[in-house]
A and B are shown apart, each in its own frame.
Chain A
Amino acid sequence: MLKYIGKRLLQTLLVLFIVSIFAFALIHMAGGNPALLLLPDGASDEAIKAMEHELGLDQPLYIQYIQYMIGVFQGDLGMSTAYKIPVADIIAERLPYSIKLTMGTVLVGCSLCIPLGIIAGSNRGKPVDFFAMFFALLGNSMSAVWLAVLNVFVFSVWLGWLPSMGAESFSNIILPALTLGYPMAAEITRVGRSGMIDTLSEDYITATYAKGISRRVVNWKYAFKNALIPIITLVGMSIGSYLAGAVVVETVFAWPGIGQLTNQAVGNRDYQLVQSLLLVSAALFTLINLVVDIINSLVDPRVSLE
């Protein structure tokens, strides 16, 4: 196991290296000049050149890239041109919020929907199945923006149950997690349901019944584990995208995660912040994939880590 993890980590380094090149290239190809964005409108050419020099932008591109990468290897993720503080500090401040939101989302998604999917799959055609499929259809059809704003107005303004913005206390995470979690829950319900249906039609389930096991135990212990396998993969992939991409929810709920941060950084052409954010996101994504693979191998003994 340790050897496998070691190998995967090495692969991750390679992936990150490639990501860094892409990130650097893309953000620089986007045009725009961060010095211009910092200075007041109509600043003189000298002022612009002076600012560029301050920011190290007057050096050739490959030098900028090399200096950045050297810094990264030493743990220095660069300087933010907008915030004027080390990028590592900004990310360290904002990343935990994204992680919290993601975990909340996974919690909401899984706790609601794994049971719902299982119940729907084992009661095919019955009312609970229709309800589950309707629930899933709604989740797939709603756009994130619409759902977010709807949630704010219903739960915050109209009912007054939950705060509309910010991230101070526990109740602040509920609405954003619900908003992100609902589409995920819809997916999980679908996958759980079809996984359950497939599993229940297998011979070994009949064999399990033939041993005198009750329906409840068959559903929740024996078939459940098999149906769980595709769900784990699904959740794993979703986590990656939520960590870095929950921009809409973060913006609407004023949740200070890294999705919104990346958005603003790109707009500000804050080169090193963008590059490091992309690196961090990629690192997290590959790490999560590794964890998912390990969990998969634990749940499904047929999967061996190679």
Chain B
Amino acid sequence: MKKRMLSALSLLMAVLMLTSCGSSGSPTEGEEGGSSAGAEGGPSKTVNIAISENCITLDPHNANNQGSLIVSDCVYEPLIQTDNEGGYYPWLATDWEYDETGTVWTFHLRDDVRFNNGEALTSADVVCTYQRLIDEYDSLCRAVELFPDHLLQSVEAPDEHTVVITLARPYSVALFSFAKTMIIPKSVYEAEGADMFYQQNLVATGPWKLEEWVDGQYAHYTKNEDYWNPNYDSYYEELYVRHVLESSTAVAGHLSGDLNANLTTGGINPDMLALYNGSEDRIEIIPVEVFSYYYMGFQCGEDSPFADINVRKAFECAIDRQSILDSIMGGGVVCKSVIPKGVLGYDENLPDYEYDPELAKEYLAKSSYNGEEIVLSSNTSTAKAEEQLLAISGMLNEVGFNTSVSIVENATLLDMRTTGDYDVFMVITMHGGGDPGSIMNMRIVQDAHSSDFVDEELNNYILSGLQTIDADERAEYYKKAAERLREVSAPHTALYSPYANYAIDYGVVGLDLYKDGMLDVTFVDYDPDATTFRGPDYAALSSF
């Protein structure tokens, strides 16, 4: 009896093992991306792109990380497109206008757009989309992010191809928010609600159709043959967006041919770039001057050493930004302020942050600093945070500070920053869409990080800019804000903008490596004659 049980058990295990091996993941076995050659001997019609974050949800209104946004951006489309640098292009909407208060926005829709289930796009779908953002504001991450403080008030459709969106107050970066709001189909949403995203039933207007999303692995798309926009007709018929969290694996995959592009959020770690030596004939390393930047935020409350401006000034000029850039970050640009180059309000006449240890010592001498320990904090998801902070700590200690370094989990740092429980922290950030208004508003005016620093003049500049629709005028306000921030050296001191390096096969074009650090792979294409990489040409894509 025992012998029989034993053999039964082992047979069962063997059967389990074999059957489970067969029925995994993709239905198309052996289709390991990139290996199936194109029909006429050209390169494969399947393109594999690696990104460094996981997709967590397919709901474009609830995505709160890069990985999810990239995935849903391939299928869904917004009313207008942007290059994230302040340029806006007609897309599902042919044109738009706003009234004199800046709160009523009118969009005119195209009449030839179809969802990938055949249904025509009408204003009812747009209304459904924006109404959802209003009704479920509290639980939709994107709603809060794009339209802070219940900015959306109402949405109406006077006719089938016109939509009127009313905001609660004027918002200078409203266009950016509109350009990032994806339109969902009313019929499907009314029938299934949010379940449609969970069921992976992504009915949308975009150039790709989602075949399958496998959590932790990839999103697999096939070309939408009935795409409404004739300006985009990709060479590729299948697209895999693969989530590869481990950077060495991404590089290995790229080198071995499993991948055609390696797009790591924030750029490939400079240490990893050396691995690409030897494959320069196949793979191009593209350095992008992103306007994301590292900065340090001071705790300026009464009990903190940084309440004293001399301490802050000493801190600022004790740091040799350039040398950290060169030796740790793999190159980049030293900041002049919290508004880096390329962002509205950038002032090239502002002097760079200086490195002057002697001056730092002077400031420190006349300050109230008594050698209290100062902890430099950052989190584990900030690239090379520890190395940077260690270098900075060394530089600070040399001029007389007593500093130490602490790297904590994301969640912990978030807690600390919300309650103000820190001495000084360092993170990387970016101004989405090339406009610093909303970020500065959040962090400085509304003091989201409880720094307890208030400067009326600074706040006024920011608020004024926020409410000014005209871009040039706005820029002037922000320039003044940046200048003022330099004067008071609070609540932030900017460090530098390192280059973001991406690795892409020659010939693969159309990936949008936004200057603000975001990524979009929707318009990927293949150009055999391309000698270097180029991104999507939105002007060409949207000209009819």
Contacts and interface: CB of A to CB of B under 8 A. Distances in A.
A–B proximity contact (CB within 8 A) = yes
Interface residues of B, number: 67
Contacts of B54: 264
B72 to A, nearest CB: 13
Interface string A144-179: 000001001100110010011111111111000000
Contacts of B13: 103
A97 interface: yes
Interface stretch (B56-64, B88-96, B223-231, B506-514): B56-64
A interface secondary structure, majority: helix
A84 interface: yes
A227 interface: no
Given A33-B414, A165-B258, A251 B246 contact: yes
A153 B62 contact: no
Contact of B24 (A30, A97, A298): A97
Interface in B111-145: 137-139, 141, 144-145
Interface residues of A, number: 70
A254 B249 contact: yes
A26 interface: no
A100 B24 contact: yes
A154 B239 CA distance: 27
Interface string B6-37: 10010001001100111011100111100000
Nearest to B2: A298
A173 B21 contact: yes
Interface stretch (B209-217, B341-349, B532-540): B209-217
Given A37-B410, A96-B20, A83 B57 contact: yes
Interface in A254-306: 254, 256, 260-261, 264, 267-269, 291, 294-295, 298-299, 301
A172 B242 CA distance: 14
A42 B448 CA distance: 5
A172 B17 CA distance: 15
A214 interface: no
Contacts of A291: 9
Contacts of B418: 33, 36, 48
B326 interface: no
Contact of B56 (A82, A164, A167, A251): A82
A295 B409 contact: no
A295 B13 CA distance: 12
Contact of A254 (B9, B26, B216, B411): B216
Contact of B414 (A36, A93, A94): A36
Contacts of B29: 168-170
Interface in A36-89: 36-44, 46-48, 50-51, 53-54, 82-85, 89
A234 interface: no
B258 A163 contact: yes
A246 to B, nearest CB: 13
A227 B244 CA distance: 42
A47 B144 contact: yes
B256 interface: yes
A6 interface: no
B252 A31 contact: no
A295 B244 contact: no
Given A157-B256, A254-B243, A260 B6 contact: no
Q: From A37, A93, A160, A264, name the one whose CB has the most chain B CB atoms within 10 angstroms.
A: A37
Contact of A32 (B214, B216, B244, B412): B412
A254 B51 CA distance: 12
A205 interface: no
B25 A254 contact: no
30 contacts: A31-B412, A33-B415, A36-B418, A37-B414, A38-B141, A40-B141, A40-B144, A41-B442, A42-B442, A43-B145, A43-B148, A44-B446, A83-B56, A104-B17, A157-B252, A157-B256, A163-B32, A163-B258, A165-B258, A166-B25, A167-B214, A167-B217, A168-B24, A168-B32, A169-B24, A252-B249, A254-B216, A254-B249, A267-B410, A291-B9
Can you list the 8 inter-chain pairs with the closest CB atoms, starting with the nearest? A32-B411, A256-B216, A42-B448, A42-B442, A50-B138, A40-B145, A164-B253, A168-B25
Interface of A: 30-34, 36-44, 46-48, 50-51, 53-54, 82-85, 89-90, 93-94, 96-97, 99-100, 103-104, 107, 149, 152-153, 156-157, 160, 163-173, 251-254, 256, 260-261, 264, 267-269, 291, 294-295, 298-299, 301
Given A54-B139, A100-B24, 6 more contacts: A32-B415, A156-B252, A164-B256, A165-B249, A166-B217, A170-B29
